[in-house]
A and B are shown apart, each in its own frame.
Chain A
Amino acid sequence: MLGDARFLQRSMKQSFSGWEPKKLFTRSASGRFQEVASVEGFESRADGRSLAADDFDGDGDLDLLMFSRNAPRLQLFENVGSGGNALELELRQHQGHRDADGAVVHVAGVGAFPVVLARGYATAVSPRVHVGLGARTGAEVSVQWRDGTREAFGALASGALYRLEQGAGRAETLRAFAPRKARAPVRWPAALTDVVPGGKGATAVQLFMESCKPCRAEVPALNALHAQGVQVVGLGLHPPKELAGVKQRLGIRYPVAPLPGAIAEAFEGPQGLQLPTVLLYGADGKLARIATGAAKLEWPGADASP
């Protein structure tokens, strides 16, 4: 690090180890870790600082919350993936501080989990412990309390949050986890007829909004394609009655229509499309390429074959 950040702020125009992809390492069968952040959707190029893991929706899995120097300042990475079983534990200590900071939970066959009040970089956290169990439906749990004593709490079933009170020798169930949300299916516009009913032949389909600057920047290239005789259709994220005015203001010369609701759904969820997007369909009516903010749209594209 450089001690005087003023130097960086005022003398540099270039980035300084900026735009870095976040990292998520997962253990592979070989015992080494693989980097899977992009694959798993832990994706952001913001300058990350503090990071916390907690169950923000009460469904028994860990979400990630990242605090960054720049925008977006606070991002939740909601865990919607499938996974193994889990349980969570809250400790209450009598010999020592109530939060049980410094105690260690031992879960047979899994490992040890420290009770801590801070982690990573300037991040305060809950003393709650989250234990992934894989295919197991329960596990033997014991606690090494701060005073050095060890207490067994027996086998606890997965799927719930428990309280482990020092000296009680048995766990109290606080609540069962909320059901994990089923992942919504995404309608993928694989065929031209998915977005343009009755459409045939090679076609460029632009998805746009008037407020989307990169979408507006695509219009000249699409107008040029249209002038060359290529079929171009614009699907606007606007109410039908506003579309004619939008078309005029953006200088669009190709036909436009409202973006169908079913396709709009594809903008949401983990596999969602993003604006700006141009869907390029081949002569067979199948999706051949997706262009996002391309400066030039050479068509027909010949590079993509299913």
Chain B
Amino acid sequence: MLMLLAPLLLAAGAPDALLQQLDAQESVNERVEKALDAMCGSLKRGEPPASFPPTGLVQVTSCSMRALNLNPAEDVSTSRLYWELDGRTQTGARRTLRGEGSAHFRPEPTGGLSVHAFELGTPEVVERAAPRFVRRIWVDAPGRTQQDAETMTGGLAVRDLDGDGLPDALWADGPTVRARFSKAPASSAPVEIARSSNGAIFTSIALGDVDGDGDADAALTSYYGGPVRLLRNEGGRLKPWGTLGAGGAHHSALFSDLDGDGALELAVVQYPLTGRWPSSFLDADNGFPLEVYRVAANGRGTAWTLPNAPARWGLAAAAGAFPSLGHGLYVANDFGTNDLWAFHRDGGVDGHAAELGLLDPGNGMGVELGDLDGDHRLDVYVTNMFSKAGTRVLAGVPAGTVELERLKKFARGNTLYLAQADGGYRESAEALGVNRGLWAFGALFADVDDDGRQEVAVANGYLSRPDRTDY
């Protein structure tokens, strides 16, 4: 993370000596974190060191240890820390223990550190019910990461396609789109819905009832794999129907009746997955513009002219009702600010993100619309990146530059814009504790325990390799 931030800090005017100091501190932090990770690993494997205090757990299933006040580089012998263990007692009951304690480190010949003593303090003990979710692995195959572009593509669609009352699932799987129908036996292989002719990868599946016959039709986008493909739902089977546009760096798409005329539009955001770097980490202008197609009930589409659409690095979009605007399309863009577009039946399009305070400069990855606080106004939740290392590094940089404030967005995490009675928004992610989604992509509001208040679920993680050390 520091390596990535270094050129940005230089751009913000940070002196070399400061960078060196931060680099040294980061090195210490990494050694401490490795030692704590190793301790957690031994606890989870069931081989706690003899020096580890009794916990009353016969099995540790989850372990977290976070240093609170790291000492200077010349003295890393002791660190206060916040720790949390989740596991089972002798009778099988689930129990969580958490508290503040301290760890004492000893240097290793390899240059690393090991924990040689540990004090737990007085932990809080929480007895847990059984977990709410049981994990079922539907597809265990890895992604085709040999294709560079697939590192960050998504592409999932969930809706009852065959009219049996239960949702079916479609997903982009490299040069194919596959489906799992709810009525098929759990053990049956996924069904291939589409395959690209030139090996290009599919990137998203949009669903909407284009022809108005009561079932969902589909649009498939690909990364330089030719035009958007339309598929018509005929009795539960998706059949080729036509195409839209000429293709491009298509990253994700959605159907929505953007102008309220009763027919769906297809919005396609674009992202250069290969071949170029952003012209600026803060305001990249060398991506590609949003594409929008009006799609008639017969499947024919015409491009909506967007003369002022900037060349963004767009990743995802969502459409819905914004309290003071009406229906809008919010686009989460990487390396810059986000967009909120309003579309009019006369062909006009205008942007409203700035006036409503929804620009969210940073690394927009995804967006969710919903009423998180139950006040009957729809809020906006934008996934970004949260980085512990980045937060620490930037905390050491002197304040005072506009760039620094914007750089902090690289590490602060997700953004929650709570809609206010006056039509504006108040950013509240840190205040409510929903910013730390890590390297977050998909997020949604869902009341999973049906208590009348919505939870926030986040899918995250950029690139896992066998070597878990973070780059």
Q: Does B9 contact A (CB under 8 A)?
A: no
Q: Does B81 contact A (CB under 8 A)?
A: no
Measured between C-beta atoms, what is the minimum distance from B52 to chain A in Å? Answer: 6
The size class of the interface chain B forms with chain A is 35 or more
Q: Does B59 contact A (CB under 8 A)?
A: yes
One of A80-88, A223-231, A232-240, A247-255 at the interface: A80-88
Instruction: Please name all residues of chain A whose beta carbon is closer than 8 Å to the beta carbon of B273 when the two chains form the complex.
Output: 3-5
Contact string, A2-34, partner B, CB cutoff 8 A, digits 1/0? 111110110011111111111111110001111
Measured between C-beta atoms, what is the minimum distance from A27 to chain B in Å? Answer: 5
Q: Does A270 contact B (CB under 8 A)?
A: yes
The CA of A123 and the CA of B318, in the complex, are separated in Å by 9
Measured between C-beta atoms, what is the minimum distance from A134 to chain B in Å? Answer: 4
Instruction: Please name all residues of chain B whose beta carbon is closer than 8 Å to the beta carbon of A56 when the two chains form the complex.
Output: 166-167, 182
User: Can you name 25 A-B residue pairings with CB atoms under 8 Å?
Assistant: A14-B470, A23-B436, A23-B456, A23-B457, A23-B458, A27-B454, A27-B455, A33-B432, A49-B442, A49-B459, A58-B165, A61-B448, A69-B153, A82-B129, A97-B262, A124-B254, A126-B160, A131-B447, A132-B451, A132-B453, A134-B453, A136-B452, A146-B327, A290-B58, A303-B52
Instruction: Please name all residues of chain B whose beta carbon is closer than 8 Å to the beta carbon of A8 when the two chains form the complex.
Output: 151, 463
One of B11-19, B20-28, B99-107, B309-317 at the interface: B309-317
Measured between C-beta atoms, what is the minimum distance from A80 to chain B in Å? Answer: 5
Residue of B nearest to A20 (CB): B461
What is A's interface to B at a CB cutoff of 8 Å?
1-6, 8-9, 12-27, 31-35, 37-58, 61-86, 95-99, 101-104, 106, 109-114, 116-126, 130-134, 136, 144, 146-147, 175, 183, 186, 188, 190, 269-271, 278, 280, 286-298, 302-306
- Contact A124 B135, beta carbon cutoff 8 Å: no
- Contact B465 A125, beta carbon cutoff 8 Å: no
Residue among A47, A53, A117, A130 making CB contact with B462, cutoff 8 Å: A47
Since A14-B471, A23-B436, A102-B327 are in contact, a sample of 19 more A-B pairs with Cβ atoms closer than 8 Å, ordered by chain A residue number, is A3-B284, A3-B335, A9-B148, A15-B467, A17-B463, A23-B440, A42-B457, A56-B167, A79-B132, A80-B133, A83-B450, A84-B449, A99-B257, A118-B319, A120-B316, A121-B365, A124-B207, A290-B46, A305-B56
Instruction: Please name all residues of chain A whose beta carbon is closer than 8 Å to the beta carbon of B453 when the two chains form the complex.
Output: 26-27, 132, 134
Instruction: Please name all residues of chain A whose beta carbon is closer than 8 Å to the beta carbon of B254 when the two chains form the complex.
Output: 117-118, 124
Contact string, B416-441, partner A, CB cutoff 8 A, digits 1/0? 00000000000000011110111111
The CA of A72 and the CA of B90, in the complex, are separated in Å by 31
- Contact B318 A116, beta carbon cutoff 8 Å: yes
Q: Does B334 contact A (CB under 8 A)?
A: yes
Knowing A35-B436, A118-B254, A121-B442 touch, does A133 contact B450 (C-beta < 8 A)?
yes
Interface set, chain B 346-402, CB cutoff 8 A to A: 363, 365-371, 373-378, 383, 385, 387
- Contact B376 A106, beta carbon cutoff 8 Å: yes
Knowing A22-B457, A190-B90 touch, does A118 contact B318 (C-beta < 8 A)?
yes
**B61, B130, B166, B469 — most chain A CB neighbours (10 Å):** B130
- Contact B387 A17, beta carbon cutoff 8 Å: yes
- Contact A296 B131, beta carbon cutoff 8 Å: no
Q: Does B339 contact A (CB under 8 A)?
A: no
Measured between C-beta atoms, what is the minimum distance from A264 to chain B in Å? Answer: 16
Knowing A54-B158, A79-B448 touch, does A20 contact B52 (C-beta < 8 A)?
no
Residue among A25, A75, A83, A124 making CB contact with B456, cutoff 8 Å: A25
Q: Does B65 contact A (CB under 8 A)?
A: no
- Contact A46 B464, beta carbon cutoff 8 Å: yes
Knowing A49-B154, A98-B214 touch, does A12 contact B471 (C-beta < 8 A)?
yes
Residue of B nearest to A96 (CB): B262
Contact string, B258-289, partner A, CB cutoff 8 A, digits 1/0? 00101110000000111111100000100000
Residue among B86, B92, B318, B469 making CB contact with A39, cutoff 8 Å: B86
Measured between C-beta atoms, what is the minimum distance from B272 to chain A in Å? Answer: 6
Residue of B nearest to A304 (CB): B58
Residue of B nearest to A15 (CB): B465
Residue among A70, A77, A125, A296 making CB contact with B145, cutoff 8 Å: A70
- Contact B457 A24, beta carbon cutoff 8 Å: yes
Residue among A83, A116, A293 making CB contact with B451, cutoff 8 Å: A83
Instruction: Please name all residues of chain B whose beta carbon is closer than 8 Å to the beta carbon of A290 when the two chains form the complex.
Output: 46, 58-59, 88
Knowing A1-B334, A45-B461 touch, does A78 contact B387 (C-beta < 8 A)?
no
Instruction: Please name all residues of chain B whose beta carbon is closer than 8 Å to the beta carbon of A147 when the two chains form the complex.
Output: 260
The CA of A132 and the CA of B453, in the complex, are separated in Å by 7
Contact string, B312-342, partner A, CB cutoff 8 A, digits 1/0? 0101111111000001000000110000000
The CA of A76 and the CA of B275, in the complex, are separated in Å by 35
Measured between C-beta atoms, what is the minimum distance from B222 to chain A in Å? Answer: 12
Measured between C-beta atoms, what is the minimum distance from A32 to chain B in Å? Answer: 5
The CA of A35 and the CA of B455, in the complex, are separated in Å by 10
- Contact B159 A126, beta carbon cutoff 8 Å: yes
Contact string, B86-98, partner A, CB cutoff 8 A, digits 1/0? 1011111010100
Measured between C-beta atoms, what is the minimum distance from A25 to chain B in Å? Answer: 4
- Contact A50 B156, beta carbon cutoff 8 Å: yes
Knowing A49-B441, A123-B158 touch, does A3 contact B278 (C-beta < 8 A)?
yes
Residue of B nearest to A69 (CB): B143
- Contact A5 B274, beta carbon cutoff 8 Å: yes
